[in-house]
């Protein structure tokens, strides 16, 4: 439309990470979402198709803020991206620049993930970790696993 300025989303680098050598790489990395990622949305659509309802998204009332929580059943589901959570099957290489930072970052991510699962277990919750690569399996395999966790 004439006369209406384009809204430009301003990019602001996260100060927790080291200054990147390449601004474009920094923009791409910072664009990764913390919630409502592609795998999470895909998984929730699968739940919907299976007729599974009654879950809460990113529920804050339990440790770890699970991606999907079934409070009445005390079940938490985490949808882990293979890259960011250090999947041992996919085994992605870390970035080559700022290697020490990224090595520590991924190590801390894994430690945090283990801590979340332990905390949930300590308060009587069951947790299921669904890896991004798991979502590429046939839906019936995933469906069986989900229904098993929810029925126990």
Per-residue pLDDT tens listing for the chain (152 residues) = 455 555 545 555 556 666 666 666 566 556 565 667 888 999 999 898 888 888 999 999 999 999 999 999 999 999 999 988 888 899 888 888 888 988 898 999 999 999 999 999 999 999 999 999 988 877 777 788 888 888 87
Structural domain includes residue 75: yes
pTM for this predicted structure: 0.76
Structural domain includes residue 59: yes
State the CATH number of the domain containing residue 74.
Answer: 3.40.960.10
Neighbours of 87 (CB within 10 A): 16
Structural domain includes residue 57: yes
Domain that holds residue 127: 34-151
Structural domain includes residue 18: no
Q: How many domains does the chain have?
A: 1
Nearest residue to 77 (alpha-carbon basis) of 152, 149, 144, 148: 149
Helix (H) or strand (E) holding 76: strand 75-80
The C-alpha atoms of residue 33 and residue 35 are separated, in whole angstroms, by 6
The C-alpha atoms of residue 30 and residue 13 are separated, in whole angstroms, by 7
User: Which pair of structure tokens corresponds to residue 13?
Assistant: 């680098």
Structural domain includes residue 25: no
Structural domain includes residue 67: yes
Q: How far is CA 24 from CA 6, 32, 37, 142, in A?
A: 21, 13, 21, 36
Structural domain includes residue 135: yes
């Amino acid at each position: 439309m004439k006369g209406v300025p384009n809204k430009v989303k301003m990019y602001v680098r996260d100060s927790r990470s080291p200054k990147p050598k390449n601004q474009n790489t920094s923009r791409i990395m910072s664009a990764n979402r913390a919630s409502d990622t592609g795998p999470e949305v895909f998984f929730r659509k699968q739940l919907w198709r299976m007729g599974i309802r009654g879950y809460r998204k990113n529920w804050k009332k339990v440790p770890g803020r699970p991606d999907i929580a079934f409070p009445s059943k005390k079940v938490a589901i985490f949808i882990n991206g293979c890259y960011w959570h250090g999947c041992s099957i996919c085994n992605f290489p870390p970035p080559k620049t700022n290697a020490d930072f990224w090595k520590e970052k991924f190590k801390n991510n894994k430690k945090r993930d283990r801590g979340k699962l332990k905390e949930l277990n300590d308060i009587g919750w069951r947790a299921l970790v669904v890896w991004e690569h798991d979502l590429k399996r046939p839906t019936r395999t995933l469906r069986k696993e989900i229904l098993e966790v929810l029925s126990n």
